[in-house]
Structure 1
Amino acid sequence: MLVLGDAHAADPDNRRALFAAYREADADVALQLGDLMYYDLPKPTWFIAGNNEDFDTIAALRNGLVSNSDVRNATLLASTTVDLDGVRVAGLSGNYAPTQYDRPRANLVAERRRHFTREDVERAMALESVDVLLTHEAPHGLPVAEDYDVGCSHVDDLLSVLDPELCLVGHHHQHAETALGDTRVVSLAPTWERYYMLDPDSLSLTWFETPVE
């Protein structure tokens, strides 16, 4: 199973790297960790929304309304799950903003639609038997180099409740690993640097350099 970090594929060079990763991996299905920004994909892909997206498209995908040539093989995981190759994958879309967290999702407009809300987290907490959790916001303890303190307590709580074997994190454009309880947490490098393969039996993750096109 192909796993991809941030893509920022509205940029033509990044889009070429994204498609090169799909071709090189030659996997049947893919997971993607947000900041995708291009939704006409070569293989069935389940992704979470990041903080950089076409938010009109994301809103439509949340509501099952998209049916056009600009969206193909792209399914949003928004406090929902999918079973792929015997692996139950859940996703929390968006990033955290304390000023928006307690607002109803329906009240978020324009760029504020990038954030997750309390209702999103609570709906995700009700999911069952999750093996792999996808988040764009990191839990505490992930050793990525940023100029701010990394870690969101709401993601910590979600991991505590769901207790997945593996949590995959986007956003930081760095490969880093830690553990939170029994959960292995991995921050993924961006797609223009690496792509990853997930073994559905062991949930082991192997990375490869994305070929230069």
Structure 2
Amino acid sequence: MLVLGDAHADDPANRRALFAAYRDADAEVALQLGDLLYYDLPIPTYFIAGNNEDFDVIDALRHGRLDSSEVTNAILINEEAVEVEGLRVAGLSGNYAPTQFERPRPNLQGERRRHFVRGDVERLKEVEDVDVLLTHEAPHGLPVAESYEVGCDHIDELLDALDPDLCLVGHHHEHAETTRGETRVVSLAAVGERYYELDPATLELTWHPTPSS
């Protein structure tokens, strides 16, 4: 199974890197961690939204009303769990903003749609038997190089509630690893640097340099 970090594929160079990763992996299905920004994809790609997306497309995918020739094989995991190659994969889209967290999702407008809200988190906490959790925001403890303290209490709570075997994190464009309880937590490098393969049987995660496009 192909696993992809942030793509930012609205940029042509990043889009070429994204498709180079698809070609090199030659997989049948993919997971993607947000900031995708291009939705016409060669294989079924289960993804969460990041904080940089076409939020009109994301809203349409959330509500099942998309009618666009520019969206193919992009499947939003909408605060739920889906089965992918025998794994229960759950996902939380967006990043955390304290000023928006208590608002109902329909009240988020424009770029504020990039955030998750309490209702999203509480709904996801009710999901059972999660093998892999996808988040764009990170839990505490990931040793990534940022100018601020990385970690969100609400992601910590999700990991404690769902107890997945593996949590994959986007947003930071850097490979880093930690654990929380029995969960292995991995921050993924951006697609322009590397792509990953996940063995559904063992949850072994390996990475490969993305070929020059």
Q: Distance in 2 between matches of 1:86 and 1:46?
A: 14
Residue number in structure 1 paired with 2:55: 55
Instruction: Map 1:97-136 to 2 at 5 A.
Output: 97-136=97-136
Residue number in structure 1 paired with 2:188: 188
Partner amino acid, structure 1, of 2:153: S
Q: Distance in 1 between matches of 2:4 and 2:164?
A: 19
- For residue 90 of structure 2, give the secondary structure of its aligned residue in structure 1: strand
Residue number in structure 2 paired with 1:23: 23
Q: Structure 2 unaligned runs (5+)?
A: none
- For residue 74 of structure 1, give the secondary structure of its aligned residue in structure 2: strand
Q: Distance in 1 between matches of 2:74 and 2:126?
A: 24
Instruction: Map 1:1-213 to 2 at 5 A.
Output: 1-213=1-213
- For residue 184 of structure 1, give the secondary structure of its aligned residue in structure 2: strand
Q: Distance in 1 between matches of 2:185 and 2:201?
A: 18
Shift of 1:84: 1.1
Shift of 1:80: 1.3
Partner amino acid, structure 1, of 2:104: P
- Sequence identity of aligned pairs in percent? 71
Partner amino acid, structure 2, of 1:57: V
Shift of 1:39: 0.3
- For residue 157 of structure 2, give the secondary structure of its aligned residue in structure 1: helix
Partner amino acid, structure 2, of 1:180: R
Q: Tell me the TM-score normalised to structure 1 length.
A: 0.99
Q: Tell me the TM-score normalised to structure 2 length.
A: 0.99
- For residue 57 of structure 2, give the secondary structure of its aligned residue in structure 1: helix
Runs of 4+ aligned residues of structure 1 deviating over 4 Å after TM superposition are none
Q: Structure 1 unaligned runs (5+)?
A: none
- For residue 112 of structure 1, give the secondary structure of its aligned residue in structure 2: helix
- Residue by residue over 1:79-129, the C-alpha shift from the partner in whole angstroms, topping out at 9 and shown as x without a partner, is 111111111100000100000000000000000000000000001001010
- For residue 57 of structure 1, give the secondary structure of its aligned residue in structure 2: helix
- Residue by residue over 1:6-30, the C-alpha shift from the partner in whole angstroms, topping out at 9 and shown as x without a partner, is 0000000000000000000000000
Partner amino acid, structure 2, of 1:69: S
Shift of 1:78: 1.9
Q: Distance in 2 between matches of 1:208 and 1:64?
A: 34
- For residue 13 of structure 1, give the secondary structure of its aligned residue in structure 2: helix
RMSD (Å) for aligned C-alpha atoms: 0.4
- Residue by residue over 1:130-175, the C-alpha shift from the partner in whole angstroms, topping out at 9 and shown as x without a partner, is 0000000000000000000000000000000000000000000000
